[in-house]
Each structure stands twice: as structure tokens, then as C-alpha cells.
Amino acid sequence: MEKSAKIYVAGHTGLVGSALLRKLKQEGYENIITRTSKELDLRKQDDVLKFFEKEKPEYVFLAAAKVGGILANNTFPAEFIYDNLMIEANIIHSAYLTGVKKLLFLGSSCIYPKYAPQPIKEEYLLDRKLEPTNEPYAIAKIAGIKMCQAYNRQYGTNFISVMPTNLYGPNDNFDLQNSHVLPALIRKFHDAKVNNSPEVVLWGTGTPKREFLHVDDLADACLYLMRSYNDSEIINIGVGQDISIKDLANLVKNIVGYTGEIKWDTSKPDGTPRKLLDISKLKAFGWEAKISLEEGIKSTYQWYLENEENIKRK
């Protein structure tokens, strides 16, 4: 991918898109196109095609998506399936119609079955039932993967799909109503510390295990794969190790400096018991994550403190 290449980052204001933007600029790519959701509604087919016909990007990072945790997925299932299907279908089809050289589609580890063997290999996709709490989102993402593969097969496009594990970092969503677990923990413990709350109540039992990848590592992996990976088969991006939610909560609690108690509300759902990605395929391609979980949480909390006033709070 030449340094002068015209690159479109879809979803550049989000967690992943903003990290991709930072990484591309660090690497000397300056011909980058972006549009906010107010400037371009990616759910509108005609508008997306007109944008592609006018701008003619050579490379596309498809990071735009409607995302959220268990609560958001349970509350807005129709929005999660509709918005994500429309966004990816419009961008992938427009990329084909306007001759985009290469597209990288960002999926999610949520696509894999609820009880997939651990660690999760790429070939486990669709071999058993999905996790019910995020099924609409997962089905939309699976459709995006299959769309990339179908276009490659029928039209000879070079559309690749990557499956990141749970992500965190700067520009994450810290809204307690629809954020993922790690930013929600940072927010909860910080608020409890500031308010001198005697306890913090967390959902579930704390026993599920999750893998966490810093978003700057993901951006590095995506650029690496955009330059070197040309296969229709999906590829996992992760760190190769996981941590229980209970241990994660204690780690965040210590980093934030909260001294109260943790109470677990076991009437609330746990979600998938475990979700560790097999990253042997990615390692074979020569890439590994560099940012440790503790280091990553510390820097993310520091970013939160520096941007607290600008973060949309509820």
C-alpha cells in the first residue's frame, strides 16, 4: 500500500477507526478520507455509492459499526442487525463497483459459537449456536464476512476479514448503558472512588474469561495484514491469553485506586463463558501484540482522566 494511496477509514471517530487513523498517520499515510455519520449516513445506499464514485478510494478500512455490550445488544437488537447489515453491504458493494484495490472488513470474536472449543480457531465459525444476547450483531457481522468472500469468488476482489478479540483503549465508549466490560469497569471504579462509594456492584458471577487487545495493537495488526494478507479466509487478531472478569475487575480497581468492596449481582447474565481466540494463524504471518493488559489499562485510564470532561456522560 503506497504512502500516496487514497485510503478511506469508515468509522474514524470510533474506538477502532480513530486508532487506525493514528496508525496510518504515524506510518506516513496522508491521503486519508473520512466522513462523520452526520456528513455521510452509511446506511443509505445511494449516498454511499455517490461518495465512493466521487472520492474513488483505493483502500478501505471498514471499521464503522453499531457496537455495545450485553445490555445494549439486548435492548436494541433490531438496530444492531439493521444498522450493521446496511453499513457493511453498502460499503462492500460500493467498493466493488468503484474498483477499490483492497478492503479490510473488521468483524468481531462475537461471531463465534457460544460453546466453541477453546481457543477458538477460525474454522469454528457457524459450527454450532451463537450466544443469544448478541445474536443479531453476530449474524450481521457473519453476513459481512460471507459478503467479502462471495465478492472475492464472483468478482475477483481482494476483500479480507479480520476478527479482533475484545478491544479497549483511547476513544472507547464509557457510557454505562451501552459500553463493553473494560471501559465500564474503569468508569464504575473511577466514579465510586470520586464519590467515596463503599461498594461497586458488577453483573454476573465474575467467572467468565475474556481476552483483551489494546486498540493500538489492533490498528498495527490491521495495517500489517492490509499490506501482506490476501486470503478470503478470516483471520483472528488477539493476544493469545485471557483473564476472568473477577481478576480483571480487581486489576482495574487497583489501577484506578478504589478501596471499597466489589459486590456481584448474580441475577444478571454472564454472557459467553469463555472467548479466547486461537492466534496461531496470525503468529505464522509474523505479527504479535506488544501492549500488556496492565500497561494498556493504565494508559487508557490516564486518557479517561485527561478527557473526562469531553466524554459524553450519563
Q: In what order do the strands lie in the sheet with 235-237?
A: 32-33, 7-10, 59-62, 102-106, 159-164, 235-237
286-304: per-residue pLDDT in tens?
A: 999 999 999 999 999 999 9
Binding positions for substrate are 188, 203, 210, 270
Q: Extract the C-alpha cell encoding 122.
A: 477460525
Active site includes 137? yes
In a domain, 313, yes or no: no
Write down the catalytic residue from 59, 137, 168, 229: 137
In a domain, 93, yes or no: yes
In a domain, 314, yes or no: no
In a domain, 239, yes or no: yes
Please answer whether residues 253 and 191 qualify as being in contact, where contact means their C-beta atoms are separated by less than 8 angstroms. no
Binding positions are 11-17, 106-109, 141, 164-167, 180, 188, 203, 210, 270
In a domain, 2, yes or no: no
User: Which is higher by pLDDT, 114 or 106?
Assistant: 106
Name the residue type at position 162: V
In a domain, 145, yes or no: yes
Q: Extract the C-alpha cell encoding 302.
A: 490516564
Q: What is the pTM (predicted TM-score) of this model? A: 0.93
Domain with 286, as residue range(s), is 7-307
What's the CATH number where 47 sits? 3.40.50.720
Assess whether pLDDT exceeds 50 at residue 314.
Answer: no
Q: What is the pLDDT of residue 313?
A: 53
53-72: per-residue pLDDT in tens?
A: 999 999 999 999 988 777 77
In a domain, 139, yes or no: yes
In a domain, 77, yes or no: yes
Q: What's the CA dihedral at 44, 84, 13, 109 to 10 degrees?
A: -160
What's the domain count of the chain?
1
